[in-house]
Structure 1
Amino acid sequence: MPDGSDRFFGQCHCGGVRFAATLSDGFGTIRRCTCSYCRMRGAAVVSAEGGGVEILQGADLLTRYRFNTGAAQHFFCSRCGIYTHHQRRSNSHQYGVNVACLDGVSPFDFPEMPVFDGVNHPSDTGGTTRRAGTLRFVPEA
């Protein structure tokens, strides 16, 4: 996993969409979510502030998906189907970036990853963000 700068380059699976992402707190915001969409796609994400995701190539290939309240915008490549990033529902000035799309980074680089309760989203409950658990990866020897 790269160290140093919080600016990373990434792409979708087919390479049609290429982007640069400036992470808010490096990998300190790594997380997964239990909402229906995140649960099905299984992506691990990190945060980037608004303006922190720059599409370098393939903007015309990006497709947007919204569900439920329509507040969050999830972007994926229309050619290979890979989710690259999303504009967050809880903070529309922030993006979640799929770590698996970042060059040199894998979700399996993180032995532990917090999982947040997206089923009971704070925007629906009026509460605060609740941690639902921890996902662990233990490589075989």
Structure 2
Amino acid sequence: MKKTYNGSCHCGKVRFQALIDLAEGTGKCNCSICTKARGWGVTMKPEAFTLVSGEEDLSSYQFNTHSAEHLFCRHCGIRPFGRGNVPEIGGAYVSVNVTCLDDVTLEELATAPVRYMDGRNNNWFEQPAETRHL
């Protein structure tokens, strides 16, 4: 069931709300940035996401195809969400870092299904051979 979650970066300057059904699944990837940042996201259409405050506190990092905007708070460095447009996954999206959800319960995190993606080998729709480190 979809639920509105509140989220933020560590210092609280960036705040958002997102309508999410964690039971629909979350994702972890082994690409170069997700591996280093230990990303754990849930993807949604942009209309399910509202940036409440902190647009001016965000910095952006893009690489490779520039199809994703990796956003982080310029004060505390936390990556609360990102956005982009990838036709293969349905076009425009927002990906929220589930660990930045302020009102998610430990039970919700523990039971949220995780799909693994092999971004390291540009094989996004397959699970990598090893996932224990993700």
Question: Which category describes the TM-score, using the shorter chain as reference length?
Answer: 0.7 to 0.9
Provide the residue aligned with 2:61 in structure 1: 65
Provide the residue aligned with 2:9 in structure 1: 12
Between Structure 1 and Structure 2, how many residues are aligned? 128
Q: Compute the TM-score of the two structures, normalised by the length of structure 2.
A: 0.80
| Residues 22-101 of structure 1 aligned to structure 2 (within 5 Å) | 22-23=19-20, 25-88=21-84, 90=86, 91=89, 92-101=91-100
More helix, by proportion: 2
Structure with more contact order per residue of length (Cα contacts < 8 Å, sep ≥ 6): 2
Deviation above 3 Å: which 4+ runs of structure 1?
88-92, 133-136
Query: Aligned partners of 1:39 and 1:52: how far apart in 2?
Result: 26
Give identity over the alignment, percent. 31
**1:101 is aligned with what amino acid?**
C
Q: Compute the TM-score of the two structures, normalised by the length of structure 1.
A: 0.77
Provide the residue aligned with 2:121 in structure 1: 120
Provide the residue aligned with 1:110 in structure 2: 110
> Root-mean-square deviation (CA), in Å?
2.7
CA contact (8 A) 2:27 2:114 kept: yes
Cα deviation 1:6-30 (Å, max 9, x = unaligned): 221100000011111122x434221
Structure 1: 5+ residue stretches without partners: 123-127, 137-141
Query: Aligned partners of 1:39 and 1:97: how far apart in 2?
Result: 16
Structure 2: 5+ residue stretches without partners: none
Query: Aligned partners of 1:16 and 1:83: how far apart in 2?
Result: 12
Query: Aligned partners of 2:94 and 2:44: how far apart in 1?
Result: 5
SS in 2 for 1:20: strand
CA contact (8 A) 2:14 2:55 kept: yes
